[in-house]
Each structure stands twice: as C-alpha cells, then as structure tokens.
Amino acid sequence: MSTTLHRGSWIVTLPVAGIAVLYVAFVWLPGRRTIAELQSQIELKQQFLAQSATTDHALAAAQQDLHKAEDYSSGWEKNAPAKRDIPALYGKISLLAKEAGAVTTRFDPQPLIAHGCIREIPLTLGCTGTFGQVFQLLRSIESLPTTIWVDSVRIEKVAETAQTVHCELNLVVFSNNPLDSDYAKRTD
C-alpha cells in the first residue's frame, strides 16, 4: 500500500507543479510587470501633479513680473521724448541751468545714435557757477521724467581763491526708436 501512495503522489505533484510553473510564467510574472509599469506611471503622474502646483506659483510670479515690466516700459515710453520733442528738452535743460544760477558756457548736442529699440541723444553741457549752483543743475537734470544718463561730470575750480567752478557734463538722453517693427504704425 505504501508503494501505491508514493507513486500516486508523484502523479498529483508533477501536474500541480507544472500548473504552478505555467501560472508563474504566464500569469503572475506578466501581471507583476504590468503592475510595476502602472505603479511607475502613477508615480510619474503624482510627480507631475506635485510639480504643477509649483509651476502654477512660478507662472503667477512670472506673470506678475511681466506686468511690472510692461508697466515700467509703458511709463518709460510715455516719458521718452520723440524726435520732434528734443528741441523742447534742450530748452528745458537750458532753463534749468538758468534757474540754478549757473551760466551756460557750452551747449553741444551730438548726432543721434539709433539702436534696435532705443536712441541715444548725446549732449555736452558746460557751465560755470558756484558748486551749489552746479549741484542744483545736476539734481534738476536727474529729476526730469525723461531718462537722462549722466555719462561723465568734470568739475574744476576756476581760480584758487574764487568760489566759482567750471563743470563739463556729458549727458545721454534716451528715447524710443520708432523704426523698430513694434513701432511701425506709430508716428514720431
């Protein structure tokens, strides 16, 4: 009896082991691969969702910066002199020198320098007066709404005992360049 049981147990064990191997090979391993792929996709989507929250914040910050830049640019364009307004600006600078009490000794506008979006309008201004008068003139020029760059300032005492100084200012006035494609329909 013991031989029949022993032989019968192999008859049952081998097919069960074969079914188990086939199950592992054709069901469990492919299912495990599919589950691993799905878990990987879920992790990627969770990372994407986590990044989208920070991206939304970064996008809002970038839009706020863009609005600030547009506001600054439109304010600058509003205050930038057009080519036809340059003589009036020269008159305003000359008037500021008189109001400060300085005597203009040189007023030498240079040719315009056109760049892609802006123009530089160089100007050399020489004047004499007390240091306070020259300082007041420089402060008044810098307080104009127009963008004016003080490229260089040279101040020399006229005489050893005198309070009078001679000042040479190299200024650059910036204005927009209407020849740029963004300004094609505007008139200067």
Question: How is domain 83-183 classified at the CATH fold level?
Answer: Alpha-Beta Plaits (3.30.70)
What distance in Å separates the CA atoms of residue 85 and residue 72, rounded to the nearest whole number?
21
What distance in Å separates the CA atoms of residue 78 and residue 3, rounded to the nearest whole number?
108
Q: Rounded to a whole number, what is the distance in angstroms from the first to the last CA of the chain? A: 116
Q: What pTM was estimated for this model as a whole?
A: 0.60
What distance in Å separates the CA atoms of residue 130 and residue 162, rounded to the nearest whole number?
9
Residue of 87, 107, 95, 90 lying closest to 137 (CA atoms):
95
| 133 contacts: CB under 8 Å, gap ≥ 6 | 100, 101, 102
What's CA 103's distance to the chain center, in Å?
42
Angle among Cα 29, 32, 33 to the nearest 5 degrees reads: 90
Q: What is the pLDDT along the chain (188 residues), one digit of tens a residue?
A: 454 545 567 788 888 888 888 888 888 888 888 889 999 999 998 888 888 777 888 888 899 999 999 998 888 888 888 888 889 999 999 999 999 999 999 999 999 888 888 889 999 999 999 999 999 999 999 999 888 899 999 999 887 777 899 999 999 998 887 654 444 444 44
Q: How many CA atoms lie within 13 A of 53 on its CB side?
A: 5
Residue-wise pLDDT tens digits, 84-135: 888 999 999 999 999 999 999 999 999 988 888 888 999 999 999 999 999 9
Confidence (pLDDT) at 41 = 93
Residue of 84, 162, 164 lying closest to 127 (CA atoms):
164
Q: Where are the alpha helices (DSSP H) in the chain?
A: 2-23, 29-79, 86-100, 131-142
